[in-house]
Amino acid sequence: MSNLDAALKSAMSIDGAIGAALVDYTSGMTLGVAGGTGEIDLTVAAAGNTDVVRAKMRTIEMLDLKDEIEDILITLGTQYHLIRPLTSRTGKGLFLYLMVSKSRTNLALARHQLRSIEETLEL
Q: Please report, for the chain, the start and end positions of each structural domain, with discontinuous segments joined by +.
A: 3-120
CATH topology assigned to domain 3-120: Beta-Lactamase (3.30.450)
pTM value is 0.92
Determine contact, residues 10/3, Cβ cutoff 8 Å: no
Closest to 53 measured CA to CA, from 69, 29, 64: 69
pLDDT tops 80 at residue 78: yes
On average, the pLDDT of the chain sits at 92
